[in-house]
């Protein structure tokens, strides 16, 4: 009889130990799951920010390589147009001055 009770207690200890191990493993898995979840939650915005930075850098490179040359060309063209307009204004001033002198001569002859 003593043998049966010893067998029962060893079986009971074995079951208790299995339950204890199961509870410990469950707790470890839960903690690891929470840690992994928090790491993903923290890393997601960081990855988004890094992606946004890469897109901004690509946009800057595109502007520098494509659009900047066009903008500079347009500015140069505008400067040339300004220069031509200034020359045209000077010519018009000279013509006005000549016309004014001719009108003055005509008026003096008429008097």
Q: What is the DSSP letter of 80?
A: H
Q: What is the dihedral of CA 28, 30, 32, 35, to 10 degrees?
A: -140
Q: Looking at residue 96, what is its pLDDT?
A: 93
Structure tokens at 87: 């020359």
| pLDDT band at 29; cut points 50, 70, 90 | very high
Among 21, 16, 13, residue whose Cα is nearest residue 5: 13
Mean of all residue pLDDT scores within the chain: 84
The pLDDT tens digits of the residues spanning 40-91 come to: 887 777 778 888 899 999 988 887 787 778 888 889 999 999 999 999 999 9
The DSSP code sequence of 61-79 is: HHIIIIIHHHHHHHHHHHH
């Amino acid at each position: 009889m003593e043998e049966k009770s010893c067998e029962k207690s060893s079986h009971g200890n074995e079951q208790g130990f299995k339950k204890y191990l199961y509870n410990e493993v469950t707790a470890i898995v839960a903690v690891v799951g929470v840690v992994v979840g928090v790491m993903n939650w923290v890393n997601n915005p960081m990855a988004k920010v890094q992606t946004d930075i890469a897109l901004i850098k690509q946009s800057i490179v595109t502007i520098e390589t494509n659009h900047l040359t066009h903008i500079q060309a347009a500015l140069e063209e505008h400067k040339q147009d300004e220069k031509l307009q200034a020359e045209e204004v000077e010519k018009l001033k000279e013509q006005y001055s000549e016309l004014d002198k001719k009108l003055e001569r005509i008026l003096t002859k008429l008097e």
